[in-house]
Amino acid sequence: MSSGGEIEADFVVVGCGVAGLRVAIELGSAGARVLVLAKSSLTDSATEWAQGGIAAALSDDDEVSLHVEDTLRAGDGLCDPAAVHVLVEEGPKYILELIEWGTQFDRAGSKLAFTREAAHSRSRVLHAHGDSTGKEIARALLAKARTLSGILLRPHAVTTELLTAGGCVTGLRFLDENSKELMDVTARAVTLATGGLGQVYPETTNPAVATGDGMAIAYESGAVLSDLEFIQFHPTALAVKGAPRFLLSEALRGEGAVLRNADLERFMKKHSEAGELAPRDVVSRAIVAEMQRTRSDFVYLDLTHLKDEYVRKRFPGIFATCQSYGVDITSDLVPVRPAAHYVMGGVRTDLEGRTSLPGLYAAGETACTGVHGANRLASNSLLEGLVFGARAGQAIIKDCKFSSRKKPKWPASRAAVEKPGAKKSAAPANPPSAEAQQLQKVRAIVWKDAGIIRNGRDLKEGLDALAALEPAQSAEPSRSARELRHIWQLAQLIVRSALAREESRGGHYRGDFPFRDDEKFRKHSLVTRGATVTFR
């Protein structure tokens, strides 16, 4: 593996989703030279896959206080109220900014159109092109970033480690997948915005790039991680043989879709007064209970009572994707089952993106601000990336005492870097067979022992089994080897955190401790490299 030398930037951002782009735009607008690294293509992120929408108290019948209450209630006693207030109060401002930058949200006439999702007391979820909200937001943010001469977007750059000096983060190292060279980047600050860790699980709605890289890299460097036991399993992922676990947005249930078991009976009212609009963790456990009771591998999502034309127009992406797998959502019962979707925990930060390591910041799903508590309220994730991405960018400028460059320019052509000729596909290379087998084993353990319903015996067995699967150090760095190691590390942290939390709360459910224990566990779990899990 050859060395490609050094790159000097004012700041570097790892990740090209809503959070990473919003950080970069804030920094680039201040006149900084900002290097943005994407592991795959510039449009391969969880943001692109986000269907349902982005929540904000912007409608005439809504109030910020109601959005705060709904978020706190969904978080099951563990939200940081200060973080929630920041999210909800500042959210409308940044959404209006998105609109100024060209984001085309759906409208009813001249007014913005809102829908309702589970656990929201009002219809406050904005959407775009029916069910392509994240893709539209990412498009607008990427277009805005490209107007700023100081931002250099670099795809196919696999971040391998952080660089430190004197206890401070001073840059990072990445593998250029086109040239196969290792590159060092020196910068005043690094921001990790690599998204979530859904690929730790074999059943996930997340894209292939969601391997928890930012969290694992921060952990390896000694940063504090928090609340990794809280995994949100989306209740309704497509369960068709041979199909990926494609997400069927909660907005479907918001528009009137219902759940039926294998006997075609509606069952959600037995589990929650809110029925199909109960919080995601409640719906997921209810589905698992019905699957076990009826000895079925899935339940059904039923939209057949809704008007065909409306469903096709409101959910064009979902309709087309399901149809490609032989399911017509307007006339067929759609087989669904839960899949790993979102992690409430991550790299612990303050309300401005600062981590426990000087010079290191985190934003979006990679970060844990405390805003989601034990269970994220639907459609608050894009909002979090937007709001806290902007705040992180502002904090970096202030902390680094950065003064604007008049004309920040990069020596290389941006177009040449953004569209390299060597790699045509955003898809990752298949890992070697030994890596693939090991990855399959790790995922199977986490699904079995730290899935939707957990218990102490299984968690202990899972931890022992994972310890025996430590990946061998690769002679040469590669994307597949790094992803395997990151998934293995995070799998252990999820299991360790879940074992330490002897209660049930939000996305964490222990069959041997089925109730909430506020006296002992109304606290956040904290873990650093080489330390036991603690609560504070």
pLDDT confidence of residue 322: 96
Query: Taking 50 as the threshold, does the pLDDT of residue 445 lie above it?
Result: yes
pLDDT confidence of residue 418: 74
pLDDT confidence of residue 411: 73
pLDDT digits 0-9 by tens, 367-417: 999 999 999 998 999 999 999 999 999 999 999 999 987 778 787 666 667
User: Beta strands 107-108 and 111-112: pairing type?
Assistant: antiparallel
Query: CA torsion, points 83, 89, 95, 100, in degrees to nearest 10?
Result: -130
pLDDT confidence of residue 296: 97
Ordered structural domains, the chain, with CATH: 2-229+344-418 (3.50.50.60), 236-339 (3.90.700.10), 433-535 (1.20.58.100)
CA-CA-CA-CA torsion sign (300, 305, 307, 308): positive
Nearest partner of 357 among 472, 258, 217, 201, judged by Cα: 217
Environment class of 468 (CB within 10 Å of its CB; exposed 0-12, middle 13-18, buried 19+): exposed
Mean pLDDT over the full length of the chain: 93
pLDDT confidence of residue 343: 98
Query: Taking 90 as the threshold, does the pLDDT of residue 508 lie above it?
Result: yes
Distance CA 520, CA 502 (A): 9
Residues with Cβ < 8 Å from 68, sequence gap 6 or more?
84, 85, 88
Catalytic residue among 188, 253, 280, 496: 280
Distance CA 498, CA 306 (A): 40
pLDDT confidence of residue 423: 44
pLDDT confidence of residue 119: 84
Kindly list the distances between the CA atom of residue 362 and the CA atoms of 67, 123, 229, 369, 468, in Å, as whole numbers in the listed order.
24, 30, 19, 9, 31
Distance CA 156, CA 179 (A): 10
For helices 81-100 and 133-146, angle between their N-to-C axes, nearest 10 degrees: 70
Is 280 in the active site?
yes
Distance CA 70, CA 272 (A): 16
pLDDT confidence of residue 3: 63
Nearest partner of 212 among 42, 19, 366, judged by Cα: 366
Query: Taking 60 as the threshold, does the pLDDT of residue 429 lie above it?
Result: no
Residues with Cβ < 8 Å from 93, sequence gap 6 or more?
none
Tokens at residue 198, please?
């859904």
pLDDT confidence of residue 524: 98
DSSP-assigned states of every residue in 496-532: HHHHH--S-BTTB-BTTB-S--HHHHSS-EEE-TTS-
Kindly state the percentage of the chain with pLDDT values over 90: 86
Kindly list the distances between the CA atom of residue 144 and the CA atoms of 149, 187, 409, in Å, as whole numbers in the listed order.
11, 23, 16
3-state secondary structure of 231: strand
Distance CA 87, CA 358 (A): 24
pLDDT confidence of residue 193: 98
Query: Taking 90 as the threshold, does the pLDDT of residue 533 lie above it?
Result: yes
424 band by pLDDT with thresholds 50, 70 and 90: very low
Distance CA 173, CA 351 (A): 27
DSSP-assigned states of every residue in 102-119: T----EETTEEPEE--TT
**What's the alpha-carbon Rg for the chain, to the nearest Å?**
22
Residue type present at position 317: G
Query: Taking 50 as the threshold, does the pLDDT of residue 469 lie above it?
Result: yes
Query: CA torsion, points 93, 94, 96, 98, in degrees to nearest 10?
Result: 170
Tokens at residue 221, please?
């460097």
Query: Taking 60 as the threshold, does the pLDDT of residue 427 lie above it?
Result: no
Nearest partner of 508 among 465, 442, 445, 451, judged by Cα: 451
Tokens at residue 495, please?
């299991």
Q: Give the single-character DSSP code of 365.
A: G
Write down the H helix ranges in 337-432: 381-399, 414-418
Give the neighbor-by-neighbor strand order of the sheet with 525-527.
367-368, 346-348, 225-226, 525-527, 534-535
- 202-217 exposure pattern, b = at least 16 Cβ within 10 A, e = fewer: bbbbbbbbbbbbbbbb
Tokens at residue 140, please?
């607008």
pLDDT confidence of residue 339: 97
419 band by pLDDT with thresholds 50, 70 and 90: low
Residue given tokens 């004012």 in the structure block: 10
Distance CA 528, CA 86 (A): 27
pLDDT confidence of residue 425: 41
pLDDT confidence of residue 422: 43
Distance CA 125, CA 246 (A): 21
User: Beta strands 168-176 and 157-165: pairing type?
Assistant: antiparallel
Query: Taking 60 as the threshold, does the pLDDT of residue 360 lie above it?
Result: yes
Element (H, E) at 335: strand 334-343
Distance CA 88, CA 383 (A): 8
Phi, psi of 157 (to 5 degrees): -120, 110
Mean pLDDT of 447-473: 96
3-state secondary structure of 68: helix
Mean pLDDT of 484-503: 98
Distance CA 388, CA 375 (A): 18
pLDDT digits 0-9 by tens, 173-232: 999 999 999 999 999 999 999 999 999 999 999 999 999 999 999 999 999 999 999 999
